[in-house]
Amino acid sequence: MEEAILLLGGNLGNRELVLAQAMEKIEEYIGEITAHSSIYESEPWGFEDKNQFLNQAIKVNTQLNPQQLLDKLLEIEQSLGRVRTGKLSARTIDLDILFYGNQKITTETLTIPHPRISERLFTLLPLAETMGNSQLPVLKNTAQELIQVCQDRSKIHIWNYKDNL
């Protein structure tokens, strides 16, 4: 059994419902979710779009190896309407592996830890909430330390569904 830390996000359709459906499918096909952050709303990163993203970090215990985990996440994305265009764009759901235990992995299809963790507030803020003051695997920093030096100035806040009715 290994602990994986994932980031869920999307900006198309019923964003909160799609996140909830992704978490259900992760529990069903990948393993038990042991912790999750609040849901954060942020502007698109790396491209322009009128729709804001919702993002959430989760910890999951899995028996899948890293490649199996990636393959299952891609299946879940597709089942939830994700269409891959090969570039940064609007999407119903994006499921990224941030960490897989303490492993560092670089293959043609997979890089762990995720290579852009330290560049994105929409990743670091939910990660900080999920990980607390623990050092991040492999990186040996806390998420809070990475937030302090992150150059991303995107607008991001905890999303409250009731405020958005």
List, by residue number, the catalytic residues. Answer: 82, 91, 94, 96
Q: Measure CA 95 to chain center.
A: 6
Please state, in angstroms and as integers, the Cα–Cα distance from residue 155 to each residue in 14, 45, 89, 135, following that order.
21, 10, 18, 25
List all residues 6 or more positions away from 6 whose beta carbon is below 8 Å from its beta carbon.
26, 57, 58, 60, 73, 95, 96, 97, 98
Please state, in angstroms and as integers, the Cα–Cα distance from residue 26 to each residue in 76, 87, 131, 146, 153, following that order.
8, 24, 19, 27, 31
Report the C-alpha gap between 53 and 21 in whole angstroms. 16
